[in-house]
Amino acid sequence: MDAKGTVAPVYSQIALDIALRITRGEIKENTRLYGRSVLASQYGVSPETIRRAMRLLEDMEVVETREGRGSLVISKVKAQEYVDKFSEYNDIRAKQQRLKELLQEQEKLCRKISDAADSIVRINEHFTITLPFTIYEETIPDTSPLIDKTLEETHFWQKTRATIIAIRRGDQIILSPGPYAVMLAGDIVMYIGDTKSVEAVISFINNG
């Protein structure tokens, strides 16, 4: 197999196996290989497949084939070159396959980013249409006394006269948080109210 999901032709696999045996010294130079029928039986393939394997090795100058006399091993060096080239080819095909997979993953990620962006736009449009007044935002600082407290515990509305309509936490937007929603550092509180409420919220989230 030369890359994920890609299998090399049988005849090239057989040619590689023979080349490997030559490089390991199992088959010596000037050794005459068995005839096609014998090799076909050994490898469990047709004589035509063996012919194509021998033709490949002949093209690489590993063997010399003469009609009626079979194939003669003529170069261990060329056999090693064929093994190296086959390995290099496998490596290139594997890298090409990996690149294809990464591009597919990138395409999926881009779709997810696009969907998330569309979702944010729809939420903002929903607020604009359904709420005919300004939405304010404030970030809960690390030093806020509201951290780890629920909205009910902080008495947020009673203290500020502002109504929290959503909390943005990283990539997540919590719509209409209930009284048991917990405030965390870095949360972006989205709320509605008048100008006095804005001043009250800023003071409240910083000083409690």
The pLDDT score that the predictor gives to residue 193 is: 84
**25 Cβ contact partners less than 8 Å away, ≥ 6 residues apart:** 76
Domains of the chain: 10-97 (1.10.10.10), 133-207 (3.30.70.1450)
Q: Give the pair of three-digit tokens for residue 14.
A: 């057989």
**94 Cβ contact partners less than 8 Å away, ≥ 6 residues apart:** 2, 3, 4
Nearest CA to 135 among 177, 155, 164, 173? 164
Nearest CA to 205 among 133, 126, 123, 144? 144
Q: Are the beta carbons of 63 and 57 closer than 8 angstroms?
A: yes
SS3 of residue 142 by DSSP: coil
Q: Give the pair of three-digit tokens for residue 49.
A: 């497949």
pLDDT at 147 over 90: yes
Q: Give the pair of three-digit tokens for residue 171.
A: 């990539």
For residue 96, report the phi and psi dihedrals to the nearest 5 degrees: -60, -40
pLDDT at 5 over 60: no
pLDDT at 54 over 50: yes
Residue 106's pLDDT band (cuts 50, 70, 90):
confident
The 10s digit of each residue's pLDDT in 116-139 is: 767 766 666 665 555 556 788 999
Global pTM exceeds 0.85: no
Backbone φ/ψ region at 70: left (φ over 0), alpha (ψ -120 to 50), beta: left
The DSSP call for residue 44 is: T
